[in-house]
Chain A
Amino acid sequence: MENKIIYGVTGIFDTPDEIISAVKQVKSSGFERFDVHTPYPIHGMPKAMKLGTSPLGYFALVFGLTGAFAAFALMTYLMGYNYPLIISGKPFIPIPAFIPVTFEVTVLLASVGTVLAMLFLLFKFPNNSHPLHDTNYMKKVSSNKFGICIEAKDEKFSKMEVIEFLKKIGAKDIEVIYYDNDALNFKINIFEWKFVAFLVVSALVVSGATYIVLNKLMFAPPFNWMMGQHRIDAQVESKFFGKDNFSMRVAPAGTVARNTNQFKFSGQPELAEAKLINPLIPTEENLRKGMKKYDIYCSPCHGYHGIGDARLNGQFPNPPSLHSEKVRNWGDGHIFYVITEGQNSMPSYSSQLTNEEKWAIVLYVRALQRAMNAKEEDLK
């Protein structure tokens, strides 16, 4: 016991009234380094101990103003200068719209900052090695008793006198508190190999886990499903459509191009030939339009001049020439019919071409035929 350093002397009181009068006597006897320990805050104790006003209000003010200015300045800079965004034609620095975030950040910083300042700055917490911990005194004041502790650091402190004084003012269970030598002599050795190993291992685990999460896991299933999306390329076989394995789909039967009516002469080429008359006259404009559409839709198989020289290199059967006697003798309506309905291997073009475009193609085919089979009089 003798080689231990004394922290202070404690005494216990039973009621709040007793402790208040005891504190007043301690104070008037000139002790400065003392503390009162009670299980809950006692009304009037700060006054009896002559504690000034708590400084926490100023902390809250400073933290709150910092939050308010920081939030407002950040938003003004980001929205007004760093990356101005046009939002519904509103100003770049709309002050009313900044109020909610400014308010929230003010409250956040003021609350959290003041609490941290109180715990770590004013109270110097965490402090589990304080000499008062694990004493009978602490067990009592944490439950139902009221205690006074006069510290050895006080100028008027002397062990026996303080014990006598506490007895005089009615304290019970007087106890002398010593510093714990182990705790007092404890030095933190940050280079101890166990601690260093712990640091190294935790650094590796944390950085490794972060790396895996950010660079591997986020790109692994199922987290990647929006990154790579399924796609079918044109002209490529696709197992998705089991029936024919074509990736490009044929329009359903009866589909027509926009602004086109249902074809009235389906399956009746003779009737179409008899009834349909080309509404277009062979102006340059109409012929050019016909040429454009012919080159897009017809020329891959029929060739640019209608002689059946397909560019498909035999992947699709070559069609007969458009300059045969048969085709030349067809009426315009019959050619229109073949474009609309298709014939043999030729598919229908009704979903790709409007009626007007089809008639323009008919005009162009006629022009091609006449050019390839020109007569004497055409040259005049």
Chain B
Amino acid sequence: MSIEVLKEPSVIEGKPTFVEIDEQISAPIDKLPNIKYLIALGITSTMLLIGIICIGATFFYGIGLWGNNNPVGWAFDIINFVFWVGIGHAGTLISAILFLFRQKWRTGIARFAEGMTIFAVMTAALFPLIHVGRPWLAGYLFPYPNQHHLWVNFTSPLLWDVFAVSTYFTVSFVFWYIGLIPDFATLRDRTKSTIKKIIYSILSLGWRFSNRHWHNYEMIYLILAGFATPLVLSVHTIVSFDFAVSIMPGWHTTIFPPYFVAGAVFSGFAMVQNVLIIIRKIFNFEHIITLDTLEKMNKIMLATGTMVGYAYGMEFFIAWYSGSQFESFVFINRAFGPYAWAYWIMVSCNVVFPQLFWFRKIRRNIPIMFVIAVLVNVGMWFERFVIIVTSLAHDFMPSSWAYYKPTLVDFGILVGSFGLFFTLLLLFIKAMPVISIAEVKAVLDGAQPHHTHNGGHNGK
């Protein structure tokens, strides 16, 4: 292994010491928020407030405030639900799937991406709650013995959704918390404030860095990663069943599960990349969240974006090949009908612009990749819009066709969902280590004994 090219460069740049890592990662938590942070928090909480007002108005006056009309009964609420669940998928992919593939570059971004998963799923879960109309009766969604002697319908995709999303949230949360325990213990031993020490002691559960514990800890991490991997694939598969199990033309297709999962990873990576670019700049994490890491994320976006593009093409092929006139009508109508504007926004943002990542210079250019990732998220939001609205607006009965127009309240709730997500994210940044201290230390140069490194990697 003396060939220089084949040597994998360190995922952490600048050879920091362990103490420096401690200091740099806990700096945002130790320092009081500065004016930039407060401005950012002000903006996001204003957005959140707009959302709360719009949701409050919806509950008070009723769903007539939304643009939903007779054929288009699912609109912004379900679009936003699918969008936010999709955003969450990148976090699990980074923390679980890349862990199984032993991708060391994930260490710098895994914690943050997991946090984003949790907040994105929380944001997503809000929408079915609003959509059912009376969120305080959401307990009816779960099977429990009740005085009606009724049970939920276990064969309904909507019920599968309840199980998938709640399992996904719980497992992601546990995964995230398990990762945080050693870091809370490090913070506990660093802090000089008594109150913080009590809080960190409780949160760290009394972790004491014992190698008898680390031994089991590494095993549980592997087990959780092993479970989270099929879980994350199942979640968006089941979300896609909400559509695919119905008989609507344009929804009733077997390509939906892989297509949705690829799209979810695609948009999730775009969101993680966007936020990380800002975080690494503000908190000087450029040597931990390196340009190489961002480039690798761009490569994943290129791959998943191309998969999504393939799915778009394949949908058209099947529409023609199936010989079903309803199916072909729906797809011709998508591309050239009244919603053609949305369709072509989707195609250009999701399929065309990410192809620029074939060029190394663009993959490594931060402003350009930021813009492309923003466009990807716009495109992925429009993908859900196109799937849901075009199919519903033009169903089997031409007499009931109608054009869907969202209202200001719809947009207000969308803005509010971004507000909720980013507010939670900002609070997370100030409250917990956004980079895993223990994991980063473990991948520093010289962090592992030399005798196990003869001849490259041999596992643990």
Instruction: Give the B-binding residues of A (Cβ under 8 A).
Output: 15-17, 20, 35-46, 49, 51, 54, 56-57, 60, 74-75, 78-79, 82-83, 85, 87, 90, 94, 97-98, 100-101, 103-105, 107-108, 110-112, 114-115, 118-119, 122-123, 125-130, 132-133, 138-139, 141-144, 218, 222-223, 226
Given A97-B154, A111-B171, A123-B213, also A218-B136 (CB < 8 A):
yes
C-alpha gap A112/B175 in the complex (Å): 9
Taking the closest CB of chain B, its distance from the CB of A359, in whole angstroms, is 37
Task: Scan residues 132-154 of chain B and give those whose CB is less than 8 A from a CB of chain A.
Answer: 134, 136, 143, 149-151, 153-154
C-alpha gap A363/B448 in the complex (Å): 109
C-alpha gap A40/B218 in the complex (Å): 10
Contacts of A141 in B (CB 8 A): 209
Given A39-B209, A119-B205, also A111-B174 (CB < 8 A):
yes
**Is residue B238 within 8 Å, beta carbon to beta carbon, of the partner chain?**
yes
Contacting B159 at CB < 8 Å: which of A39, A44, A101? A101
Contacts of A108 in B (CB 8 A): 167, 170-171
Q: Which 10 A-B pairs have the closest CB atoms?
A: A144-B18, A54-B219, A97-B155, A127-B206, A40-B442, A41-B214, A36-B211, A100-B160, A125-B205, A142-B189
Are A39 and B18 within 8 A (Cβ)? yes
C-alpha gap A26/B223 in the complex (Å): 31
Contacts of B351 in A (CB 8 A): none
| Closest B residue by C-beta to A213 | B136
| Closest B residue by C-beta to A140 | B189
| Closest B residue by C-beta to A56 | B219
Contacts of B190 in A (CB 8 A): 142-143
Are B151 and A104 within 8 A (Cβ)? no
Taking the closest CB of chain B, its distance from the CB of A101, in whole angstroms, is 5
Are B449 and A39 within 8 A (Cβ)? no
Taking the closest CB of chain B, its distance from the CB of A109, in whole angstroms, is 9
Are A100 and B211 within 8 A (Cβ)? no
Are A42 and B211 within 8 A (Cβ)? yes
Quick check: which of B27-35, B226-234, B265-273 contacts chain A, the rest being far away? B226-234
**Is residue B333 within 8 Å, beta carbon to beta carbon, of the partner chain?**
no
Are B447 and A40 within 8 A (Cβ)? yes
* Contact pattern, B 174-214, Cβ under 8 Å of A = 1, otherwise 0: 11001000100110111000000000011001111111111
Taking the closest CB of chain B, its distance from the CB of A226, in whole angstroms, is 7
Taking the closest CB of chain A, its distance from the CB of B176, in whole angstroms, is 11
Contacts of A143 in B (CB 8 A): 18-19, 22, 186, 189-190
Are B449 and A43 within 8 A (Cβ)? yes
Taking the closest CB of chain B, its distance from the CB of A175, in whole angstroms, is 15
Are B241 and A100 within 8 A (Cβ)? yes
Contacts of A139 in B (CB 8 A): 189
C-alpha gap A57/B221 in the complex (Å): 11
Give 19 A-B contacts (CB < 8 Å), ordered by A residue: A17-B451, A20-B451, A35-B211, A36-B211, A40-B441, A41-B217, A45-B215, A54-B215, A56-B220, A60-B227, A78-B154, A87-B155, A100-B163, A101-B154, A107-B234, A128-B206, A141-B209, A142-B209, A144-B17
Contacts of A51 in B (CB 8 A): 211-212, 215
Are B227 and A111 within 8 A (Cβ)? yes
Contacts of B223 in A (CB 8 A): 56-57, 60, 110-111, 114
**Is residue B358 within 8 Å, beta carbon to beta carbon, of the partner chain?**
no
Given A45-B214, A105-B163, also A16-B448 (CB < 8 A):
yes
C-alpha gap A94/B223 in the complex (Å): 30
Instruction: Give the A-binding residues of B (Cβ under 8 A).
Output: 17-19, 22, 59-60, 134, 136, 143, 149-151, 153-156, 159-160, 163-164, 167, 170-171, 174-175, 178, 182, 185-186, 188-190, 201-202, 205-220, 223-224, 227-228, 230-231, 234, 238, 241, 437-439, 441-442, 446-452, 460
C-alpha gap A10/B223 in the complex (Å): 32
Are A107 and B230 within 8 A (Cβ)? yes
Contacts of A101 in B (CB 8 A): 154, 159-160, 163
Are A222 and B449 within 8 A (Cβ)? no
C-alpha gap A132/B208 in the complex (Å): 8
Taking the closest CB of chain B, its distance from the CB of A128, in whole angstroms, is 4
Contacting A49 at CB < 8 Å: which of B159, B182, B189, B211? B211
C-alpha gap A223/B60 in the complex (Å): 10
Beyond A36-B211, A126-B205, A130-B208, 9 additional contacts (C-beta under 8 Å) are A37-B210, A38-B214, A40-B442, A42-B449, A44-B452, A57-B223, A74-B143, A133-B201, A141-B209
Taking the closest CB of chain A, its distance from the CB of B291, in whole angstroms, is 24
Contacts of B209 in A (CB 8 A): 37-39, 138, 141-142
| Closest B residue by C-beta to A142 | B189
Contacts of A15 in B (CB 8 A): 446
| Closest B residue by C-beta to A45 | B211
Contacts of B450 in A (CB 8 A): 17
Taking the closest CB of chain A, its distance from the CB of B398, in whole angstroms, is 25
Are B208 and A114 within 8 A (Cβ)? no
C-alpha gap A227/B433 in the complex (Å): 48
C-alpha gap A44/B155 in the complex (Å): 48
| Closest A residue by C-beta to B154 | A75
C-alpha gap A293/B110 in the complex (Å): 81
Taking the closest CB of chain A, its distance from the CB of B448, in whole angstroms, is 5
C-alpha gap A56/B214 in the complex (Å): 13
Most buried by A among B205, B206, B209, B218: B209
Contacts of B164 in A (CB 8 A): 100, 104
Contacts of A90 in B (CB 8 A): 155
Contacts of B214 in A (CB 8 A): 38, 40-42, 45
Contacting A39 at CB < 8 Å: which of B170, B186, B215, B218? B186
Given A39-B441, A118-B220, also A127-B205 (CB < 8 A):
yes
C-alpha gap A108/B167 in the complex (Å): 6
Are A107 and B167 within 8 A (Cβ)? yes
Are B205 and A35 within 8 A (Cβ)? no
Taking the closest CB of chain B, its distance from the CB of A17, in whole angstroms, is 5
C-alpha gap A38/B155 in the complex (Å): 50
C-alpha gap A144/B59 in the complex (Å): 54
Given A111-B171, A222-B59, also A104-B163 (CB < 8 A):
yes
Contacts of B170 in A (CB 8 A): 108, 111-112
Taking the closest CB of chain B, its distance from the CB of A144, in whole angstroms, is 3
| Closest B residue by C-beta to A226 | B134
Contacts of B160 in A (CB 8 A): 100-101, 104
| Closest B residue by C-beta to A41 | B214
Are B167 and A104 within 8 A (Cβ)? yes
Given A43-B452, A143-B22, also A35-B210 (CB < 8 A):
yes
Are B447 and A16 within 8 A (Cβ)? yes
Are B189 and A94 within 8 A (Cβ)? no
Taking the closest CB of chain A, its distance from the CB of B10, in whole angstroms, is 15
Contacts of A129 in B (CB 8 A): 206
Are B241 and A44 within 8 A (Cβ)? no
| Closest A residue by C-beta to B219 | A54
Are B227 and A144 within 8 A (Cβ)? no
